[in-house]
Amino acid sequence: MTGIDVAVVRSDTQGCDEVIHLNNAGSSLPPRAVVDTVVSYLEEEARVGGYELADRRSDDLDGVYRSVAGIVGATEDEIALLDSATRAWDMAFYSLRFEPGDRILTTTSEYAANFIAYLQVAERTGAHIDVVPDTPTGEIDVEALETMMDERVKLISINHVPTNGGVVNPAAAVGEIANRFGVLYLLDACQSVGQMPIDVDEIGCDMLSATSRKFLRGPRGVGFLYVRDTVIEDLTPPLLDLHSATWVATDRFEMRRDAKRFETWESSPALRLGLGAACDYATGLGLEAIWSRVASLGDILRTGLAMTPGVSVHDKGSVKGGIVTFSVAGTTARDVKAALAQHNINVSTSIAASTLIDMQQRGLDEIVRASVHYFNTEQELDAALAAVAGLT
């Protein structure tokens, strides 16, 4: 099917012997290279001291920025490493200064954490949140977005792939409009980075946030922010410390000029190195090859579920990726998840409050989310389909 040697990537992945992991949109199974990187660093830290090891390994730690930048087509100076995708996104969003009447344009499927931040800022500043409708096939309607543009639009802020379904939003078409109108564009790429090729120049976004633990297969507790070099100095982070800024005189500080102005001093070097190793692993396999296999496994699972009596598939979008959502008649999503766990199959559920507008528009409450990765096999999908069929 693709350029990925499934036997090799499975033998690199300890968890493949233990479980059928269809929760890669939650937190994927890391390859051995990632686990070894994190564990060996922690062990050495325990032997030689945290600050001392960070000094010794400073070249490797600098290299993480190169690895992450390579995953999104950025330069090292445009990358900030943070604790999570949400904190990364927050550092960008809360750097903007909104005035009464300023408009934020977003999607129907926006992630709750982002929308809560819009609401908070709208309440504080008098900015407006406008939700761009979807096309009949379910992605953000770029023509509608264009008609909604005016001089009061301060920010276009959308997700690339939502948390609750397979749709891939047309991020580059949105970028074309943002750039044409000279409006800042923030892309939540938490569910797309590691799943598909991403190039910030092709997309035309000014800021992009993502995590390590999902499709990149890195450790939990680390994420990153990309900020275009031409924009960095226009943004004042909501929080500063002695790493993001320097106390240059008793009455004055200066902020860093690179994206590290969005970081904090304290961090976990082990997790950062794990993220770097995950990026290198994905780059080694090739993002085109990863995307081709993920999309194709997603299609197989989606089609199989759609053919299973009593199962409704909920994915929208003319381009779909590895997140597959469904429900089973007569059973709750939680019970489906628990029943699949009995078969050693990991899935998760998506609740309405994670993507409230989209879920309300579609009359959905809680749905099952099965998310594939390239290391999953067709046999694993058959086993999952058989287990779901057994519930109806």
Ligand X SMILES: Cc1ncc(COP(=O)(O)O)c(C=O)c1O
Q: How far is the CB of 56 from ligand X (least distance, A)?
A: 29
- Name 305's Cβ contacts closer than 8 Å, sequence gap at least 6: 311, 313, 324, 326, 385, 388
* Number of chain positions touching ligand X (CB under 6 A): 13
Residue (163 or 346) nearer to ligand X, CB: 163
Tokens of 307: 């053919």
Tokens of 183: 């409006």
358 binds ligand X, rule: CB under 6 A: no
By CB under 6 A, which span of 9-17, 80-88, 200-208, 254-262 interacts with ligand X? 80-88
Can you tell me the distance from the alpha carbon of 156 to that of 292, in angstroms, rounded to the nearest whole number? 29
274 binds ligand X, rule: CB under 6 A: no
166 binds ligand X, rule: CB under 6 A: no
86 binds ligand X, rule: CB under 6 A: yes
Q: How far is the CB of 320 from ligand X (least distance, A)?
A: 15
Strand spans (E) along the chain? 20-21, 79-82, 103-106, 128-131, 153-159, 184-188, 207-211, 223-227, 245-249, 252-255, 311-313, 323-328, 345-346, 348-351, 366-371
Q: How far is the CB of 84 from ligand X (least distance, A)?
A: 4
Query: Given the structure tokens 């090799």, which residue do they identify?
Result: 8
CA 28 to chain centre: 12
**Pick from 163, 169, 244, 346: which binds ligand X (CB under 6 A)?**
163
**Cβ–Cβ under 8 Å, residues 95 and 225:** no
Strand spans (E) along 221-317? 223-227, 245-249, 252-255, 311-313
Residue (57 or 220) nearer to ligand X, CB: 220
84 binds ligand X, rule: CB under 6 A: yes
Number of H-type helices and E-type strands within the chain: 15, 15
Residue (361 or 377) nearer to ligand X, CB: 361
**Pick from 95, 211, 346, 349: which binds ligand X (CB under 6 A)?**
211
269 binds ligand X, rule: CB under 6 A: no
Q: Assign 3-state DSSP to the chain and report helix, strand, coil percentages, each to 5.
A: 45, 20, 35
Binding mask 111-150 for ligand X (x = CB under 6 A): x-x-------------------------------------
- The string of DSSP letters for 106-156 reads E-TT--HHHHHHHHHHHHHH--EEEEPPBPTTSSB-HHHHHHH--TTEEEE
**Pick from 13, 24, 191, 371: which binds ligand X (CB under 6 A)?**
191
Rg (the chain; Cα; Å): 21
**Pick from 30, 31, 138, 162: which binds ligand X (CB under 6 A)?**
162
Residue (23 or 84) nearer to ligand X, CB: 84
**Pick from 64, 190, 277, 336: which binds ligand X (CB under 6 A)?**
190
Residue (27 or 327) nearer to ligand X, CB: 27
Residue (204 or 223) nearer to ligand X, CB: 223
Amino acid code (one letter) for 90: D
**Pick from 85, 168, 282, 305: which binds ligand X (CB under 6 A)?**
85
Q: How far is the CB of 160 from ligand X (least distance, A)?
A: 8
Q: How far is the CB of 88 from ligand X (least distance, A)?
A: 8
- Please name which of 206, 284, 227 lies closest in space to residue 82, comparing C-alpha atoms: 227
Q: What is the largest CA-CA distance in the chain?
A: 71
**Pick from 106, 159, 348, 349: which binds ligand X (CB under 6 A)?**
159
Applying CB under 6 A, the residues found at the interface with ligand X are 84-86, 111, 113, 159, 162-163, 188, 190-191, 211, 223
